[in-house]
Amino acid sequence: MPLDSSFEGRSYPPTPAYEVGREKIREFADALGDDNPAYRDPEAARALGHPDVIAPPTFPITFTWPANQQLIDDPELGLDFARAVHGDQKFAYRRPVRAGDRLRCTVVVEKIRAVAGNDMITTRTEVTDDTDAPVMTTWSTLVVRGESA
Amino acid sequence: MIAYQDAPVGTALPARTFRVTRADLVRYAGASGDFNPIHWSQRTATAVGLPDVIAHGMYTMGLAGRALTDWLGDPGAVVDFSVRFSRPVVVPDTDAGTEVEVTGVVKKALEDRQVLVELTATSAGVKVLGQARATVRLG
């Protein structure tokens, strides 16, 4: 059964704050084999004008994807995650994510459409810091293969 | 940090080749929290119709990001970054694993010392990312 397009525009309450840690950033950069000092050395990050070590551009997926889980698990939507693949991903930054940030995610269902027998669902996640200032926005599309595919 | 005047349209980023093995995928799974077994279990991957274990799409995007930020110097200069996951990166259970090659070119000069960079990622001769592009602010 196709996904219910009336979910478009639905938003979920902000998630509890995710605290960005220096060691988590280092672990993530290590996993990408990335030795950029801006991810590891506060002095190197400050030399570039950042108050503390910053995170690699794709690091926010570590907390935005779990935030999207609210929607994936919503029984009303009935998304079969076993049939889903990650279709596309976008990040737009107001500023880099950095160690010490306490970030909340608000997930909005931006678009649901059927393409060639598959369902595509795009979410927008607004990320704010503990002063409620916007930090970044992410968009993720899941492609859910049709039953016959 | 690359200066705006030193990166006119047509400027190529240094081409990069990244080796990807199963061990890299296990490490990325732990660091990212994405433990989907299609990224480490051949049994699960083939059961859902994949040829073998595949890399996390976000891992491939991360490698493309690395090619971009290594060129930039300051990773904080990325304004936006987007990709489409067009084909999977298949990672066999061998010491050599596979390779992901990333190239990039400045496509457009924008206002405020920003440029649009188009990235290309291929593995085993197949384009694995589509519409991979980033806006970056140069010095």
Residue B61's CATH number: 3.10.129.10
Q: Do B28 and A66 touch (CB under 8 A)?
A: no
Q: What is the pLDDT of residues B111-122, one digit of tens each?
A: 999 999 999 999
| Partners of B120 in beta bridges | B103
The fold for domain A5-21+55-144 equals: Thiol Ester Dehydrase; Chain A (3.10.129)
| Partners of B108 in beta bridges | B116
Mutate to test the interface with A, among B2, B26, B58, B136 (most CBs of A within 10 A): B58
Q: Is residue B122 part of a domain?
A: yes
CB of A28 within 8 Å of a chain B CB? The answer is yes
Q: Do B58 and A86 touch (CB under 8 A)?
A: yes
Q: Do A56 and B68 touch (CB under 8 A)?
A: no
Q: For a pLDDT cut of 70, what percent of chain B falls above it?
A: 100
- Cα–Cα distance between A139 and A79 in angstroms, integer? 18
Query: Residue A148 pLDDT more than 80?
Result: no
Q: Quote ipTM for the complex.
A: 0.97
Count of Cβ atoms closer than 10 Å to residue B139 Cβ = 14
Query: Residue A130 pLDDT more than 50?
Result: yes
What is the rounded average pLDDT of the residues B10-15?
98
Q: Is residue B44 part of a domain?
A: no
Q: What is the pLDDT of residues B89-107, one digit of tens each?
A: 999 999 999 999 999 999 9
Residues in chain B: 139
Q: Do B58 and A89 touch (CB under 8 A)?
A: yes
Residue numbers in A near B61 (CB within 8 A) = 58, 89
Give residue A1's pLDDT. Answer: 64
Minimal CA separation from A34 to chain B, in Å: 7
Q: What is the pLDDT of residues A102-113, one digit of tens each?
A: 999 999 999 999
Minimal CA separation from B71 to chain A, in Å: 11
Query: Residue A149 pLDDT more than 60?
Result: no
Vertex A66, ends A62 and A70: CA angle to 5°? 160
Average pLDDT for chain B = 97
Q: What is the pLDDT of residues A31-86, one digit of tens each?
A: 999 999 999 999 999 999 999 999 999 999 999 999 999 998 999 998 888 888 89
Give residue A43's pLDDT. Answer: 98
Q: Do A31 and B31 touch (CB under 8 A)?
A: yes
Ordered by start, the domain boundaries in chain A are: 5-21+55-144
- Answer yes or no: pTM beyond 0.90: yes
Domain membership of residue B111 as a residue range? 4-19+55-137
Count of Cβ atoms closer than 10 Å to residue B50 Cβ = 15
For residue B139, the chain A residue with the least C-alpha distance is A48
- Cα–Cα distance between B53 and B39 in angstroms, integer? 5
Give the B-side interface with A, CB within 8 Å: 1, 18, 24, 27-28, 30-34, 48, 57-59, 61-63, 65-66, 68-70, 73-76, 78-85, 131, 134
Number of domains in chain B: 1
Mutate to test the interface with A, among B74, B84, B136 (most CBs of A within 10 A): B74
Q: Is residue B117 part of a domain?
A: yes
What is the rounded average pLDDT of the residues A8-13?
95
Q: What is the pLDDT of residues B29-77, one digit of tens each?
A: 999 999 999 999 999 999 988 999 999 999 999 999 999 999 999 999 9
Q: Do B81 and A91 touch (CB under 8 A)?
A: yes
CA A6 vs CA A13, A14, A110, A115: distances in Å? 18, 21, 11, 17
User: Exposure pattern of A61-84 as b/e (b: 16+ CB <10 Å)?
Assistant: bbbbbebbeebbeeeeeebeeebb
